[in-house]
Structure 1
Amino acid sequence: MKLHLEKNHAEYAGRDMDFFKQQEQKLKRQKLDEGGSFQQQNTAGVQVFFEVSLEIAKEQKPHTIGETLIKPCTLLIVEGIFGKAAAPKVEQVSLSNNTVQHRIHDMSEDIKLQVISEMKEAPFGLFAFQNDESTDVSSCSQLLSFVRYVKGNDIKEEFLFSTTLETTTTADDIMQKMVQFFDAEGIPWENVRGVCTDGAPSILGSKLGFQTKVKSLASQAKGNHCMIHRYALSCKTFPQPLQEILETVTKIVNFIKAGALNSRLFKEMCKDMSAEHEALLYYTAVRWLSKGNVLSRFFELREEVKHFLDIRGKHELLQHCEAGQWNEQLAYLADIFEQQNQLNLKLHGRGNTIIHFQDNLRGFIAKVQNWQRKVNKGNISMFERLSEFHDNSEKELDSLLKANILEHLESLEMELLRYFPDLDDIETKIVRNPFSSNVGVDTIPEAIQDEFLDLQNDSFAKDAFEEKSLTEFWVGLRGYPNICKMAMRVLLPFASTYLCESGFSALLNIKNKQRNRLQVEDDIRCSLSVTKPRISKLVQNLQAQRSH
């Protein structure tokens, strides 16, 4: 080698070892193209690889779309605008199926590292999580978990992990997956302050349920049954006459929607009658908003429905629609379910604390009580459809209909109070407004009474309470550690499994019939995570590859 160096590369013969090591490093950062010459790695190109792959994951698209659609379209745009001379630069971008999959995996791992690090570095190290499982298109049971912890000056919600339950879906199976993840990532169980799940017996069981197993490892964890699920359960009770109305509506909708011919004929008839809508909506029991939407649409098309049933000879269904008080009862059901759906929608969304849920539920219970007082006096103005129908008919409110409405409202109030008995606990009152005159020091645990009195008389804290959101106020109140810890027991636990439910909607898009063997954790983390991957750091650790 020395002879080769002196004979063929005489100009480098006198260089020291450091020079050759620098050349070696430079060579490693280069890549050989088809012509045999060296081309410097295009860092910007690698950055694009990651950013496009991230967009593919966020939009929940197949990995192959990069090579089959995005890259060809980009080439057409570049050649059309900048000419063919610019096309080779686009050709260098690698968007093959395997490349996109690897990029998504790298970004998913980076996001997970950031989330785990933020959880461990959170003030007091406290966090809460929510879990739920559902069966995907390939009959695999997927477990999703989201976490909530303090980050910076506020509380952050983030995707934690997804995994497959290979066989059964008992509390032991779910707990085993949780323990495996916590142990692998070094997450301490004693820092758990809340766990929110659905209402399955295997989850809420007092002896062998999942929440009980979590509390055995995290003694200060607060278990919570999803409040949206509880609210949906509380709204299921009806007097028999109203229940029969709902069942009849379902039968009529199924008759019209189940057959393709009936659907087409009904659509054309609605067009001819200049109806506002052209189709009815299917009732789906598992969709919490479905009942109200079906009833509202049916009420708006009730005349068209009657005409269609008459044409098709379905007189046994038609006679239900023409019975006395049918329209009034249908109008009431459409109105009351619209009110219930409005509350349901208020409970959806990210960042909602237990206080937000309790405030909305207390407000709805108060409205139900007020509606009972009004109906007792013959006032139905709060039910828009029923009131309008009643005004047009110029009849007095039927006593039987009034009795049915009152019976339903009374049972609704009782069910809401049964499912939500703890809407006014003392800790929640303190956290909602520690400066309220309704919060007495004698209701505070003795160990933190002095600290609480200092807080109540802190003028700067009062100003911050008025200027900041509730979570920002308590997170920033580091000078009162014991009160803050109590506040975190209220603010950190999830009140619903909304994030898991929205995650399952994303799962349906990501893992469909065409991608039924996909391992979804990396894609779903990149799609649902708030934390952004550190692409610049990943670029530094990756050598660019040419398109396959």
Structure 2
Amino acid sequence: MSAVKKSKTYHFNNDWEEEFFFCMVKDKCICLICRASVAMPKRGNLERHHKTVHKNYEKDFPSQSELRKRKVRDLLACLKKEQAMFTRPVKQSKAATIASFKISHILAKHKKPFEDGSVVKEAFIEAGETLFAEFKNKTEIISAIKELQLSRATVTRRVEVMSQDMADQLKHDIMKSTYFSLQFDESTDITDTAQLCIFIRMVFSDMSAKEEFLTMIPLKGKTRGEDIYDVFFNFVKYYKLPIYKLVCITTDGAPAMIGNKNGFVALCRANDDFPSFFSFHCIIHQQVLCSKVLNMEEIMGIAIKIVNSIRARSLQRRLFTLQLENSELAEHTDLVLHTDVRWLSRGKFLERFQELLPEITAFMEERGDDTKMLKNEKWLTDLAFLTDITMHLNTINFQLQGKGKTIIDMISAINAFKIKLQLMIDQLKRKDLKHFPSLKARIPLLNYDIYEAELSNILGQFEIRFYDFNKLANIASFMSYPFSCSNIEELATEIASQFNMDSCSVENELVQIISDIHLKATASDTKFWCFIAEDKYPNLRQIALQLTTMFGSTYLCESAFSEMKIIKSKYRNRLTDEHMSSCLRLALGNYVPSYEKYAEDMQCHASTSKVTL
């Protein structure tokens, strides 16, 4: 059997450009003069073509002459210009597509309607006409702007694609994470559709954590515990969520969520697919509920009635505002309305009412209203106390709000406030009012015991309501500073009970870590648990990871509902649930979409829509 003959490979020599007027374009050898191509870049082929077809070039452009070199450069430039004629439109269309994605992302980030893309394009063209008026390439710039694809339908498609890409990035991180926790809350949109909002916090092996919007699921029918459980479990199966990594579920404390038998959390615990997990009632909700034990409804009732009589009537509001503007003492020009659904409403309402009380009294007297209560010393003293204590409650509320708050941060804030409450009770007994500036101005007081009792009631509520968080207080304290442990056996028993671990192995790790001299040197480092060897302290490192991933509140869900009200407003009430979820993901997500990847994967076209100016 004859051997297979090897094919010979020929390589183009750069000297042939000047010698035979040939160049390589991708895999083809092209004649610069007539654009003919030869099968193989062999010297003989190029020489035969040149001397046969272009023999006059040897006379007109002698070999090795400067004239010949200049002619080759001109022919190469001409070829590149011809190539650019075809490649430039493709590059421009690709750039326009990438710009379209970026603008669509900005629109979604700022919760703007899809049709605002056309407005942006129109504004861009108008601004370009002025900004680039003196530019030599103004026509090219305006032409590039006009190629932007920003119609309503296009922006809608862009939002869908980017939302899916961000969801894929999130799913990749969930699979890569060690543990995750979830927070749930439910609210209705402008069309009275109940929306279940879910956020996720993931923790990775390097102790880093991420908080992200997971999904928004519509509840078309009832919102009972079993309804919420059914839609969530269907999402788990569809999204292929690794539920075995679940550490904690935090809810708003509604009966549908925390009911003992048919509540959402109870149904999750009853499902064998779910691991053993912690569950918490939002710490901010509980703090607000603690403040409701204040026996000051009479004060609030009268204050709200007075403010509503001014703010709720257009004429009265204008007259009162005019009075404040003419007053040299008033720092504000309007009153604040109160609403129970806002966490900080009462404190801000009372603070403004207290500051404008002289102006309110004068305004009511001028219009002939009874102001006897506004001059009653007992009522004014109670108002001053209520203003001061609600401002303290607002301060702790602010500390509990925000992104990236760990459960250790929240437990620390609550414990600090309980100590502060006890301190204020002790100071009231000594008639020390340093923490009550409004009350201090009302001296002499009628009865200190009433206010001591009110503070004691609040402190009692804090002790009762935060029982679930108190169970983790000692463990959280140890994880914050492991070398302060005084009773190893008691702490080991507590850890083993809460995290389903072997008490003996936990004790051994506690003894080792407390005695580790090298680790003591890094105790003050915020990344202390990153230095812990997993093979040496597996249980303690696991606890650190789980505590890092726990949610203490439903703040993120509450914030998302505020965004939802803006996105799906009365002017966009026909927005579908899918598009609303996509807009929320772009508005709340921290991932950056892969703009260039989208343009590579699709056929780019310039815009064909006409902008009327």
TM-score w.r.t. the length of structure 2 is: 0.78
Is 1:44 matched up with 2:92? no
Distance 1:542 1:458 in 2: 58
Partner Cα separation in structure 2 for residue 307 and residue 194 of structure 1: 55
Does residue 248 (structure 1) correspond to residue 302 (structure 2)? The answer is yes
What aligned pairs does 1:294-309 form with structure 2 within 5 A after superposition?
294-309=349-364
**1:414-433 to 2 correspondences below 5 Å:** 414-421=460-467, 422-423=469-470, 425=472, 426-433=474-481
Equivalent in the alignment of 2:73: none
**In 2, are the aligned partners of 1:427 and 1:487 still within 8 Å (CA)?**
no
The corresponding residue for 1:461 is 519
Counterpart of 1:440? 488
The answer for the alignment partner of 1:529 in structure 2 is 589
Please give the residue correspondences for 1:175-324 in structure 2 after superposition, counting only pairs within 5 Å. 175-217=229-271, 218-239=274-295, 242-274=296-328, 275-315=330-370, 318-324=371-377
| Residue 161 (str. 1) matches residue 215 (str. 2) | yes
* TM-fit CA distance, 1:475: 5.1
In the other structure, the counterpart of 1:407 is 453
Q: Deviations over 1:262-318 (max 9, x none)?
A: 111111111222321121111101111000101000000001111111122221xx1
CA displacement, residues 330-362 of structure 1 (integer Å, 9 cap, x when unaligned):
111111111110110000011111111111111
Counterpart of 2:182 in 1: which secondary structure? Answer: strand
CA distance in 2, matches of 1:464, 1:475: 10
**Aligned partners of 1:111 and 1:531 also within 8 Å:** yes
The C-alpha deviation readout for 1:75-119, integer Å capped at 9, x for no partner, is 122222224412001111111111111111111111111111111
Find out whether 1:500 has 2:557 as its counterpart. Answer: yes
Counterpart of 1:523 in structure 2: which amino acid? C
Cα contact 1:362–1:423 (8 A) shared by 2: no
**Identical amino acids, percent of aligned pairs:** 29
Does structure 1 residue 359 correspond to structure 2 residue 412? yes
Answer yes or no: is 1:120 the counterpart of 2:175: yes
2:114 maps to a residue whose letter is H
Residue number among 484, 487, 491 corresponding to 2:541 in the alignment: 484
Match for residue 70 of structure 2?
none
Could you tell me how far 1:478 is from its partner in structure 2?
4.8
- Measured in 1, the distance between the counterparts of 2:511 and 2:519 equals 12
Do the aligned partners of 2:185 and 2:557 also contact (CA within 8 Å) in 1?
Answer: yes
Give 1:446 deviation, angstroms.
1.8
Which of 371, 382, 389 is equivalent to 1:329?
382
Q: For 1:374-385, what aligned pairs fall within 5 Å after superposition?
A: 374-385=427-438
With over 3 angstroms needed to count, the CA separation of the structure-2 counterparts of 1:327 and 1:56, relative to structure 1, is same
CA deviations 1:37-56 (Å, max 9, x no partner) are: 99324332222111111111
Q: Which residue of 1 aligns with 2:50?
A: none
> Which is further off, 433-442 or 533-542?
433-442
C-alpha separation in 2, matches of 1:310 and 1:403: 34
2:478, 2:485 within 8 Å by CA — same for their partners in 1? no
Query: Relative to structure 1, is the Cα distance of residues 427 and 216 closer, same or farther in structure 2, using a 3 angstrom cutoff?
Result: farther
Distance 1:190 1:145 in 2: 17
The CA distance in 2 between the partners of 1:105 and 1:320, in whole Å, is 59
**C-alpha separation between the residues in 2 aligned to 1:455 and 1:200?**
41
- In the alignment, the residues of structure 2 paired with residue 412 and residue 442 of structure 1 have an alpha-carbon distance, to the nearest angstrom, of 30
Between the aligned partners of 2:449 and 2:414, the Cα distance in structure 1 is 25
Unaligned runs of 5+ residues in structure 2 are 1-34, 41-84, 493-502
Does the Cα contact within 8 Å between 1:175 and 1:213 map onto a contact in 2? yes
Residues of 2 paired with 1:475 and 1:146: CA distance? Answer: 25
1-side partners of 2:194 and 2:595: how far apart?
A: 32
**How far, CA to CA, are the matches of 1:381 and 1:38 in structure 2?**
74
Segments of structure 1 that go 5 or more residues without pairing to the other structure are: 1-9, 16-34
- Deviation at residue 171 of structure 1 after TM alignment: 1.4
Question: What secondary structure sits across from 1:129 in the alignment?
Answer: strand
Report the equivalent of 1:24: none
Question: Structure 1 residues 364, 111: closer, same or farther in 2, change over 3 A?
Answer: same
Match of 1:94 in 2: 149
Q: CA deviation at 1:243?
A: 2.5
Q: Aligned pair in 2 of structure 1 residues 463, 73: CA closer, same or farther (>3 Å)?
A: farther
How far did residue 36 of structure 1 move? 12
- Provide the C-alpha distance between the structure 2 equivalents of 1:536 and 1:37, rounded to a whole number of angstroms: 17
| SS in structure 2 at match of 1:39 | helix
What one-letter code is carried by the residue in structure 1 that aligns with 2:314? A
- Residues 513 and 483 (structure 1), Cα distance of their counterparts in 2 relative to 1, 3 Å cut: same
Q: Distance in 2 between matches of 1:368 and 1:493?
A: 27
Change (3 A) 1:179 1:257: same
User: Residue 55 in 1 paired to residue 120 in 2?
Assistant: no
CA distance in 2, matches of 1:511, 1:477: 47
Counterpart in the other structure of 2:127: 77
1:450 is aligned with what amino acid?
A: N
Residue 118 of structure 2: SS of its match in structure 1?
helix
What's the counterpart of residue 567 of structure 2?
510
Name the stretch that deviates more: 209-218 or 281-290: 209-218
Which SS does the other structure have where 1:446 is aligned? helix
C-alpha separation between the residues in 2 aligned to 1:246 and 1:174?
Answer: 36
Q: Which has the higher contact order (CA 8 A, sep 6+)?
A: 1
- Aligned with 1:288: secondary structure? coil
Structure-2 separation of matches of 1:263 and 1:494: 43
**1:177 aligned partner, one-letter code:** V
Residue 254 of structure 1 and its aligned partner are, at CA, apart by 1.1
Conserved? CA contact 1:204–1:210, under 8 Å: yes
Structure 1 runs of 4+ off > 6 angstroms? 10-15, 35-38
Q: 1:434-481 CA distances to partner (integer Å, 9 max, x unpaired)? A: 22133524521223222233333334433444222xxx4335635222
SS of structure 2 residue aligned to 1:40: helix
- CA drift at 1:193: 0.6
Which protein has the larger Cα radius of gyration, Structure 1 or Structure 2? 2
C-alpha contact 1:129 1:146 (8 A) present in aligned 2:
yes
Partner of 1:31: none
> Aligned equivalents of 1:268 and 1:350: distance in 2?
40
Alpha carbon RMSD of aligned pairs, Å?
2.3
Aligned 8 A contact 2:568 2:580 in 1: yes
